[in-house]
Amino acid sequence: MTIHNLTKKTSILNKFIAEIRSKETQKDSLRFRRNIERIGEILGYELSSHFNYESEIITTPLGEKEIKLPSNELVICSILRAGIPLHQGLLNYFDDAESAFISAYRKKTSGKEFEIVVEYFASPDLTGKTLLLADPMLATGQSLVSVYESLHKHGTPKEIHIVAVLGSTEGIDYIHDKFPENTHLWIATIDDHLNEKGYIIPGLGDAGDLAFGTKL
């Protein structure tokens, strides 16, 4: 797996990350969703450099111009519910992509242990396509692995790009060898560790709750 950590260089992305982390700015759920969406747009722009491109002749009102355009067949798959704003950010740039949605959540088993439960999955055929797997929070990495295992019945994608806003070093290490070797991880920022409950520290809290309200 190739890891692309976008905060290794400074850009306007830093402002959006600062705002989604800030307890004060988080009080505005509309701004929180919009910032996740904007981060998705930036991640999408960066990963588009790894697409395949073919030349096409474009006819203008005054002539013709050869332009290289992406030729990948894209499927954006987001993990509900926190992945919806990130999904929209990617869709803003890849508006002709197909969409897939999957639910994955932690179910406590005993003590500090939990399992990942996948209950809903709607997807087109993934065979030979470029899969953008969008999950804003890469904490333990178990949800991503469970989602990937559930994808197999819908075909084998040609390549996979994991798109995340915030991740932990531990979670990235966990998924590193569980995806195909040519997988790319595009991530806006990385924190060092998880707490005893498996939450990213310092992180930002629960992205789904901040975007859509506290769940029962």
Of the candidates 122, 86, 75, the residue with the CA atom closest to the CA atom of residue 103: 122
Band (pLDDT 50/70/90 cuts) for residue 116 is low
In a domain, residue 198? The reply is: yes
13 located within any domain: yes
Alpha-carbon gap, residue 34 to 157, rounded angstroms? 29
What pLDDT is attached to residue 198? 84
Are 53 and 70 in contact by the 8 Å Cβ rule? The answer is yes
Instruction: Identify the band that residue 81 occupies on the pLDDT scale cut at 50, 70 and 90.
Output: confident
Lowest mean pLDDT among 27-31, 44-48, 128-132, 139-143: 139-143
CA dist 43 → 96, 118, 160, 187, 207 (Å): 17, 26, 14, 7, 17
* % of the chain beyond a pLDDT of 90: 75
What residue numbers bound the domain in which 153 lies?
A: 2-49+74-211
Burial class (CB in 10 A: 0-12, 13-18, 19+), 133: buried
Residue 82: CATH number of its domain:
3.40.50.2020
The verdict on residue 132 lying in a domain is yes
CB 81, CB 70: distance < 8 Å: no
Please check the confidence at residue 146 and state whether its pLDDT lies above 70: yes
pLDDT of residue 22: 97
If you average pLDDT over residues 148-164, what whole number do you get? 92
Q: Is the pLDDT of residue 70 over 90?
A: yes
Specify the pLDDT at position 82. 87
Q: Is residue 64 part of a domain?
A: no
Locus of tokens 């088993």: 109
Per-residue pLDDT, 108: 60
Q: What is the pLDDT of residues 169-190, one digit of tens each?
A: 999 999 998 999 999 999 999 9
Domain total for the chain? 1
**79 near 24, Cβ under 8 Å?**
no
Residue 179 placed within a domain: yes
Mean pLDDT over all residues of the chain?
92
Q: What's the pLDDT tens digit per position in 199-211?
A: 899 999 999 999 9
Residue 216 lies in a domain: no
**Does residue 57 fall inside a structural domain?**
no
> Per the domain annotation, does 65 fall within a domain?
no
**pLDDT value, residue 103:** 81
